[in-house]
Structure 1
Amino acid sequence: MDIHDTGARSASEIHADLRKEAAIEPDAPATGPVTKETQIIAIYGKGGIGKSFTLSNLSYMMAQQGKRVLLIGCDPKSDTTSLLFGGKACPTIIETSSKKKLAGDDLTIEDVCFKRDGVFAMELGGPEVGRGCGGRGIIHGFEQLEKLGFHDWDFDYVLLDFLGDVVCGGFGLPIARDMCQKVIVVGSNDLQSLYVANNVCSAVEYFRKLGGNVGVAGLVVNKDDGTGEAAAFAEAVGIPVLAAIPANEDIRRKSANYQIVGRPGSPWASLFEALAKNVAEAPPVHPTPLSSDGLLGLFSADDTGANVRLQPASQADMRGVDYVEKRSLEVIYDGA
Structure 2
Amino acid sequence: MTLGAPRPSRDTIDLAYDPAEDEETGPAKKETQIIAIYGKGGIGKSFTLANLSYMMAQQGKRVLLIGCDPKSDTTSLLFGGKACPTIIETGSKKKLAGDEVRIEDVCFKRDGVFAMELGGPEVGRGCGGRGIIHGFETLEKLGFHDWGFDYVLLDFLGDVVCGGFGLPIARDLCQKVIVVASNDMQSLYVANNVCSAVDYFSKMGGNVGVAGMVVNKDDGTGEAQAFANEAKIPILASIPANDDIRKKSANYQIIGKPGTEWAPLFEELAKNVAEAPPIKPSPLEQDALLNLFSADETGRDYVLQPASMEDMHGRPVPEPKSLEVIYETV
Please indicate, yes or no, whether the TM-score normalized by the shorter chain is above 0.5: yes
Matching of residue 107 in structure 1 with residue 101 in structure 2 = yes
Distance 1:42 1:180 in 2: 6
Q: Secondary structure at the match of 1:220?
A: strand
Distance 2:93 2:280 in 1: 43
| Residue in 2 that maps onto 1:121 | 115
Distance 1:291 1:325 in 2: 39
Distance 1:161 1:329 in 2: 58
User: What's the CA shift for 1:187?
Assistant: 0.2
User: Could you tell which deviates more after superposition, 54-63 or 162-171?
Assistant: 162-171
Amino acid at match of 2:302: V
Distance 1:26 1:244 in 2: 37
| Residue in 1 that maps onto 2:217 | 223
User: What's the CA shift for 1:233?
Assistant: 0.3
1:192 aligned residue (186, 189, 205): 186
| Runs of 4+ displaced beyond 3 Å | 326-332
Unmatched runs of 5 consecutive residues or more in structure 1: 1-23
Matching of residue 268 in structure 1 with residue 246 in structure 2 = no
Distance 2:61 2:155 in 1: 18
| Residue in 2 that maps onto 1:208 | 202
Q: Conserved in 1, the CA contact under 8 Å of 2:158 and 2:194? A: yes
Q: Secondary structure at the match of 1:160?
A: strand
Cα displacement string for residues 22-43 of structure 1 (whole angstroms, at most 9, x for unaligned residues)? xx97331349xx7641000000
Q: Conserved in 2, the CA contact under 8 Å of 1:214 and 1:284? A: yes
Distance 2:72 2:323 in 1: 62
Amino acid at match of 1:132: G
Distance 1:119 1:138 in 2: 22
**What are the residue-to-residue correspondences of 1:17-166 with 2, within 5 Å?**
26-30=4-8, 36=18, 37-166=31-160
Cα displacement string for residues 234-264 of structure 1 (whole angstroms, at most 9, x for unaligned residues)? 0101100000000000000000000000000
User: What's the CA shift for 1:70?
Assistant: 0.2
User: What's the CA shift for 1:106?
Assistant: 1.0
**What are the residue-to-residue correspondences of 1:226-241 with 2, within 5 Å?**
226-241=220-235
Distance 1:29 1:283 in 2: 21
2:177 aligned residue (159, 165, 183): 183
User: What's the CA shift for 1:167?
Assistant: 1.7
Q: Secondary structure at the match of 1:221?
A: strand
Q: Conserved in 2, the CA contact under 8 Å of 1:77 and 1:125? A: yes
| Residue in 2 that maps onto 1:17 | none
Distance 2:320 2:170 in 1: 52
Amino acid at match of 2:227: F
| Residue in 1 that maps onto 2:13 | none
Q: Conserved in 2, the CA contact under 8 Å of 1:224 and 1:246? A: yes
User: What's the CA shift for 1:324?
Assistant: 2.3
Distance 2:102 2:3 in 1: 28
Matching of residue 292 in structure 1 with residue 286 in structure 2 = yes
Distance 1:28 1:329 in 2: 51
Cα displacement string for residues 58-87 of structure 1 (whole angstroms, at most 9, x for unaligned residues)? 000000000000000000000000000000
Distance 1:170 1:93 in 2: 16
User: What's the CA shift for 1:205?
Assistant: 1.1
Q: Secondary structure at the match of 1:278?
A: helix
Matching of residue 172 in structure 1 with residue 172 in structure 2 = no
Cα displacement string for residues 79-130 of structure 1 (whole angstroms, at most 9, x for unaligned residues)? 0000000000000000001111111111100000000000000000001111
User: What's the CA shift for 1:328?
Assistant: 3.2
Distance 2:264 2:250 in 1: 21
User: What's the CA shift for 1:209?
Assistant: 1.3
Amino acid at match of 1:230: A
Distance 2:38 2:54 in 1: 19
Q: Cα RMSD (Å) of the superposition?
A: 1.8
Cα displacement string for residues 155-178 of structure 1 (whole angstroms, at most 9, x for unaligned residues)? 000000000035210000111110
Q: Secondary structure at the match of 2:221?
A: coil
Percent identity of paired positions between Structure 1 and Structure 2: 80
User: Could you tell which deviates more after superposition, 302-311 or 73-82?
Assistant: 302-311
Q: Conserved in 1, the CA contact under 8 Å of 2:17 and 2:145? A: no
| Residue in 1 that maps onto 2:25 | none
Amino acid at match of 1:326: P
Q: Conserved in 1, the CA contact under 8 Å of 2:55 and 2:257? A: yes
Distance 1:327 1:94 in 2: 60
- Count of matched residue positions in the alignment of Structure 1 and Structure 2: 309
Q: Conserved in 2, the CA contact under 8 Å of 1:188 and 1:224? A: yes
